[in-house]
Amino acid sequence: KIAKGDFSPIPPMCKYRGEFTTVELAINQMIQELQLREVAMIESHKLRAIGTLTAGVAHELNNPLNNIMLTAHAMLEDHKALSEDELLEMINDVINEADRSRKIIRNLLDFAREGESVSGPLDLAALVNETIKLAQNQIKVTGTKIETQIQTHLPQIRGDKQQLKQVFLNLILNALDAVGKQGTIKISLEQADNPGFLAVKVEDNGSGIPDYILPNIFDPFFTTKGPGKGTGLGLSVSHGIVNIHGGQISIESEEGKYSRFTVILPSLNVPADFKKP
Ligand SMILES: Nc1ncnc2c1ncn2[C@@H]1O[C@H](COP(=O)(O)OP(=O)(O)OP(=O)(O)O)[C@@H](O)[C@H]1O
Ligand SMILES: [Mg+2]
């Protein structure tokens, strides 16, 4: 039971304290400790993902900041020669560029800030779209093409928004690592073949995964990326999160051709945009 990731405490086997009671208590304490470690592991990998995203944010901020600088300098040097209309237009440019910078930062801050784990009904389509936005700066830097096929009007799911975002972010960041400049990443959301489940697929036409490492990719600390580039925790943490949510994560891949990760999650049976009459 524990080996499969079910950390619910073992109920006492007999009414009175017997020779197994000490073992039961010790195992329950171990289970509690394992749960705490799992939470800590999810948190530490989230911090790592934030680190990766920060690089993309910094890169994307360069453009609007340059524009603000250029416009401000022009105003400083030429303000006497400029008409009031021209000056107003330049001030508006500065405001727009500052607003663009704020939007670039806001997504990352939202993801970084919300720490506490809360479970509730979620619209998976919105969640997947928000995650793509979160990775958008990274995607721009690498020049990768993204194709999405997100079905709306699907039933909601129950879960922790931040944790599930982390799962899809890990899959997208892995796909970005695997594709070159010519790469394409396809992200889709639809009803799964299994009734009562929704399926999110993240597919890339990058390096693919050789058969001999396929059985290891979900193992903690398994990575083929160089030191400082990967911790090998992304997929194991994602696997843990999906498991907690009663779902499954699976992989199909062919070396040199593609990798397709499929996450299925149980749905609540009300369409996300269902309005009561
Ligand atoms: N889309 C993919 N294409 C090719 N190989 C992949 C893909 N996703 C995962 N892998 C392989 O699985 C390994 C484990 O992935 P995982 O996300 O757990 O760790 P990582 O990406 O190496 O490190 P981290 O997630 O901490 O940055 C990767 O090192 C890579 O070899
Ligand atoms: Mg990874």
Is residue 25 located within the same domain as residue 106?
A: yes
70 and 182 fall within a common domain: no
The CA distance from 241 to 56, in Å, is: 25
Atom number, ligand 1, closest to the C-alpha of residue 49: 27
Last residue of some domain: 88, 113, 138?
Answer: 113
131 lines ligand 1 (CB under 6 A): no
pLDDT at position 79 is: 86
Instruction: Please tell me the predicted confidence (pLDDT) of residue 64.
Output: 92
- Contacts by 1-6, CB closer than 8 A, 24 or more apart: 2/27, 2/31, 2/34, 5/240, 5/243
181 and 261 both lie in a single domain: yes
Task: Round to the nearest angstrom and report the end-to-end CA distance of the chain.
Answer: 45
State if residue 232 touches ligand 1 by the CB under 6 angstroms criterion. yes
pLDDT at 229: 84
Is 185 within a domain? yes
Sequential DSSP letters for 157-168:
EEEEHHHHHHHH
In a shared domain, residues 128 and 261 = yes
Pairing of strands 145-150, 155-160: unpaired
Give yes or no: residues 105 and 138 share one domain: no
Domain count, the chain: 2
pLDDT of residue 91: 95
Clarify whether residues 256 and 124 are in a common domain.
Answer: yes
User: What CATH number does the domain containing 255 carry?
Assistant: 3.30.565.10
| Ligand 2 center–CA 233 separation, angstroms | 7
Residues 193 and 154 sit within 8 Å (Cβ to Cβ): no
Ligand 1 touching residue 205 (CB < 6 A)? no
Pocket test of ligand 1: the residue of 235, 258, 261 to mutate, having most ligand atoms within 8 Å of its CB, is 235
Sorted by sequence, the CB contacts under 8 Å of residue 250 that are 6+ apart come out as: 261, 262, 264
Q: Are residues 29 and 161 in the same domain?
A: no
Closest listed residue to residue 36, CA positions, set 68, 7, 75 = 7
For 119-123, the CB contacts below 8 A with 24+ separation are 119/158, 119/159, 119/160, 120/158, 120/159, 120/161, 121/156, 121/157, 121/158, 121/268, 122/156, 122/157, 122/158, 122/159, 122/161, 122/164, 123/156, 123/272, 123/273
* CATH number for position 78: 1.10.287
277, part of any domain: no
Domain end residue (candidates: 90, 113, 136) = 113
- Residue 276: inside a domain: no
88: tokens are 């107003």
170 CB near ligand 1 (under 6 Å): yes
Q: Ligand 1: which atom is nearest the Cα of residue 236?
A: 18
Q: Are residues 259 and 140 in the same domain?
A: yes
Which of 113, 136, 165 is the last residue before a domain boundary?
113
> Which residues span the domain enclosing 103?
1-113
Q: Which residue has the tokens 């975002």?
A: 165
pLDDT at 115: 66
Instruction: Please report the pLDDT score of residue 75 as a whole number.
Output: 92
- Whether 48 and 30 map to the same domain: the answer is yes
Instruction: Establish whether residue 257 lines the binding site of ligand 1, counting it when its CB lies within 6 angstroms of any ligand atom.
Output: no
Q: Phi and psi of 166, rounded to 5°?
A: -60, -40
Q: What is the pLDDT along the chain (277 residues), one digit of tens a residue?
A: 777 767 778 887 777 777 788 888 898 899 889 888 888 888 888 888 888 888 888 888 998 999 999 999 999 999 889 999 999 999 999 999 999 999 888 888 888 877 667 889 999 999 999 999 999 988 888 889 999 999 988 999 999 999 999 999 999 999 999 997 789 999 999 999 988 999 999 999 999 999 999 999 999 889 999 887 888 999 999 999 999 899 999 999 999 999 999 999 999 976 655 555 5
What pLDDT, on a 0 to 100 scale, did the predictor assign at position 20? 81
Residue 171 CA to ligand 2 centre (angstroms)? 7
**Containing H/E element for 155?**
strand 155-160
Assess whether the C-beta atom of 259 lies below 6 angstroms from ligand 1: yes
Q: Are residues 149 and 179 in the same domain?
A: yes
pLDDT in tens, 54-112: 888 888 899 899 999 999 999 999 988 999 999 999 999 999 999 999 988 888 888 88
